[in-house]
């Protein structure tokens, strides 16, 4: 990591501390008494009108995350797009509708039973990828969410989620379909739904990856979809 990025990150970490992030890891006894929903609301309120990175300048809404606070399965994408920025909810545009189909028609569970979040909570201009400083500044919020929810499995959607959650820079095509790990939680990496919209032929690979997830969760794969 370059020195200038390191020093900028240290400044952001100091800000995050002042901001209250870290509280959830520091006061474990108090945390253990709270339910997941309460803890997530606390993190959300800590984010509030966050201005820790430049992405706040163009956002309409902070897109915190949505779903079951006790989810067994968590999906992590990269960043809100235009629809998500307007509605304040992740994965509600075309890519989000495809993700909902993958969850509900493919895996066979309700979207509201999983938890969905992104690496950054504010929309990057023109839907560009988050810059390293933006992603690394926002990451403690996501890590708090993962720590609270404690999912049995995480699915990383696309390269940005892989890069910042697992610090791996290989192409998705090289790592998808293999089990990786984040803080002892099994992680399946697969293509981002927006990639599938551009490359429908990759849907079969995503289905293969979701069958791995289903097997690990003990969800039966229906015969007609077991191909």
Q: For binding to ligand SF4 (CB under 6 A), which residues are involved?
A: 47, 50-53, 55-56, 62, 120-122, 134, 137-138
**Between 121 and 192, CB nearer to ligand SF4:** 121
What's the CA gap between 172 and 182, in Å, rounded? 17
**Between 52 and 92, CB nearer to ligand SF4:** 52
**Between 68 and 144, CB nearer to ligand SF4:** 144
> What DSSP designation does 42 have?
H
* Smallest distance from ligand SF4 to CB 148, Å: 17
Q: At what angle do helices 36-47 and 132-149 cross, to 10 degrees?
A: 160
**Between 62 and 172, CB nearer to ligand SF4:** 62
* Smallest distance from ligand SF4 to CB 127, Å: 14
* Smallest distance from ligand SF4 to CB 60, Å: 12
What's the CA gap between 51 and 12, in Å, rounded? 10
**Three-state secondary-structure class, residue 118:** strand
**Between 122 and 155, CB nearer to ligand SF4:** 122
* Smallest distance from ligand SF4 to CB 93, Å: 18
The count of other CB atoms within 10 Å of the CB of residue 4 is: 9
What is the DSSP annotation of 160-212? HHHHHHH---S-HHHHTTSEEEETTEEEEEE--HHHHHH-GGGHHHHHHHHHH
* Smallest distance from ligand SF4 to CB 46, Å: 10
């Amino acid at each position: 990591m370059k020195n200038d990025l390191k020093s900028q990150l240290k400044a952001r970490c100091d800000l995050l501390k002042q901001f209250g992030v870290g509280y959830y890891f520091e006061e474990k006894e108090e945390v253990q008494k709270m339910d997941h929903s309460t803890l997530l609301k606390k993190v959300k309120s800590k984010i509030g009108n966050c201005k820790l990175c430049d992405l706040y300048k163009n956002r309409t809404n902070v897109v915190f995350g949505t779903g079951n606070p006790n989810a067994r399965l968590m999906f992590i994408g990269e960043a809100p797009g235009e629809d998500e920025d307007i509605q304040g909810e992740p994965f509600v545009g075309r890519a989000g509708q495809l993700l909902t189909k993958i969850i509900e028609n493919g895996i066979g569970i309700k979207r509201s039973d999983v938890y969905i979040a992104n690496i950054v909570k504010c929309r990057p201009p023109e839907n560009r990828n988050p810059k390293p400083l933006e992603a690394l500044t926002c990451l403690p919020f996501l890590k708090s969410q993962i720590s609270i929810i404690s999912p049995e499995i995480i699915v990383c959607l696309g390269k940005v989620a892989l890069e910042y959650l697992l610090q791996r820079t290989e192409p998705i095509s090289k790592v998808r379909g293999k089990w990786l790990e984040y803080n002892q939680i099994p992680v399946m990496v697969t293509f981002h739904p927006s990639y599938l919209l551009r490359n429908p032929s990759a849907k079969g690979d995503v289905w293969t990856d979701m069958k791995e997830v289903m097997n690990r969760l003990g969800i039966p794969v229906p015969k007609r979809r077991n191909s």
